[in-house]
Amino acid sequence: MYNRGVLDDKAAEPTSNAQGELTRSITGRLLFFYVLGDVLGSGVYVLIGLVAGAVGGAFWIAFAAGVTLATITGLAYAELATKFPQAAGASLYVNKAFHNPLLTFLITICSLSAVFAASGSLATGFARYFGSIFDLAPALLVTLAFIVILTVVNFIGITESVVVNMVMTFIEVFGLIVVMAIGIIVVVQGDADFGVLTSFSAEGNPIFAIVAGVALAFFAMTGFENAANVAEETIDPAKNFPRALIGGMLTAGVIYVLVAMSAALVVPVGTLAGADAALLEVVRADVLPGSVDVLLKIFAVIAMIAITNTTLVSVVTQSRILYGMSREDVVPAVFSKVHPTRRSPYVALVFSAVVVAALLVIGDVLSRVNTDLDIVGRLATVTVVFLLFIYALVIISTLKLRGEGETAESYRANTPLLYLGVVGNTVLLGYVVIDDPGSLYWVGGLLALGGALYLAQRVSGGRRDSGTATESRA
């Protein structure tokens, strides 16, 4: 149903907004690919081996469970975004639900910290793929240049950023289609052992193995929440947002499950689990015609494009959170400044780039001191910790805001599913924290960094001049 609505979406003229506001220029079709590209992103390219190691040959079940939990959470975002189509996403929803400045600020910092950590993890992953092909510069320099370039792309304009995102989505989906094609060839040739799809090679109870796999796979499904931050720039959000969001998530979920099955049928689980880039092992199986070395390089480029796609959306998200919450008086008003010609929140963009760059520099220093520290994995875990907390609170906010801001066109999520989502996110959060308590130090550090913004807002005090922006309180 949702995909059909996206494909039938008619192009509309961008809506002209008042001075200081963002422009509605994102169609339903563009938003669908925005969601699909962000959810697919780099998670399946990077983390599939870790999920296989945690579960065994049946690791596709972990992806299916992760897709289910994430989609339930997506229902809450769809309902809230159609009622409150404004930038800032989770922070805005919690603010409207609880009217508690401290709690709203906490969610804002958690949201920012999640995308900051994700951007740092993805940029480092990009540098590793880049280094496997080119030996032109130190990894840290590559990561910093990567962030700067994506910031400039976003500064040019949100429409241009989403179009770039859509193009990269086609490329990364093509890479995953290649993996599925390899799996089909193995099946047709009669070399597939379907028994592996129901095997649990991990030690202990299979249920705990699946939970461990879901905790890892969930990072691959995150990103859908970023779409809420461009709801204010979406044409006819009440119609287009639910279709694009849920349609994009379900499409990504189906692809994930099929890719996981294909990988398990082509490559031994032990090989997948021990690989830094597991999908390269699928290509290395030498099922496709042509030079394996050439195919591996092509696939590495596709992986870099996938990482770029996800990180581009993260850069958009960081600035839109700051922009939206400055209009809610949660962070200093300077972040609501919009460039007069490009219509981009340039102050928020620059600040976000500086913070991510600082994380990359700190991570590089710490990894040199402790060679066992994997910055990519640790920042991915930190991202999941923040997001699971946010997801649970967003669902609670959805239930609390029932009856507010609703129109005949508003989307309404299934209530029992929302309660299930609260339980699922909470249980998974508890597991991740217990499994990796060291991540809490990073969580605490990022929250402490957010204290500077809190103090800055307290010092600046009061609402900015009402003539500089439109009031967005409920």
pLDDT band, residue 473 (cuts 50/70/90): very low
Would the pLDDT of 382 be above 80? yes
Q: What is the pLDDT of residue 471?
A: 41
Q: What is the residue-averaged pLDDT of the chain?
A: 81
Q: Residue 18 domain-assigned?
A: no
Q: Which residue has the higher pLDDT, 175 or 164?
A: 175
Give dist(CA 146, CA 51) in Å, integer: 27
Chain centroid to CA 87: how far? 16
Angle at 121 between CA 323 and CA 296, to 5 degrees: 125
Q: Residue 193 domain-assigned?
A: yes
Of 156-160, 214-218, 274-278, 432-436, the least confident:
156-160
Q: Residue 466 domain-assigned?
A: no
Share of the chain above pLDDT 90, in %: 20
Would the pLDDT of 256 be above 80? yes
Of 15-29, 77-91, 115-129, the least confident:
15-29
pLDDT digits (tens, 9 = 90+) for 344-381: 788 889 998 998 998 899 888 888 888 777 787 788 88
| CA-wise closest residue to 227 among 210, 206, 207, 243 | 243
pLDDT band, residue 391 (cuts 50/70/90): very high
Q: Which structural domain range is residue 217 located in?
A: 24-460
Would the pLDDT of 13 be above 60? no
Q: Tokens at residue 308, please?
A: 């770029």
pLDDT band, residue 203 (cuts 50/70/90): low
Q: Residue 347 domain-assigned?
A: yes
pLDDT band, residue 460 (cuts 50/70/90): confident
For residue 360, count CB atoms less than 10 angstroms from its CB and return exposed for 0-12, middle for 13-18, buried for 19 or more. buried
Q: How many domains does the chain have?
A: 1
Q: Residue 312 domain-assigned?
A: yes
Q: Residue 384 domain-assigned?
A: yes
Asked if 343 and 23 count as a contact pair (C-beta separation under 8 A), the reply is: yes
Q: What is the pLDDT of residue 229?
A: 64
Would the pLDDT of 76 be above 80? yes
Most distant CA pair in the chain, distance:
71
Q: Residue 19 domain-assigned?
A: no
Q: Residue 3 domain-assigned?
A: no
pLDDT band, residue 14 (cuts 50/70/90): very low
Top mean-pLDDT range of 173-177, 207-211, 306-310: 173-177
DSSP string over 128-189: HHHHHH--SS-HHHHHHHHHHHHHHHHHH-HHHHHHHHHHHHHHHHHHHHHHHHHHHHHHHT
* CATH code at position 415: 1.20.1740.10
pTM of the model: 0.78
Would the pLDDT of 291 be above 60? yes
Give dist(CA 469, CA 474) in Å, integer: 15
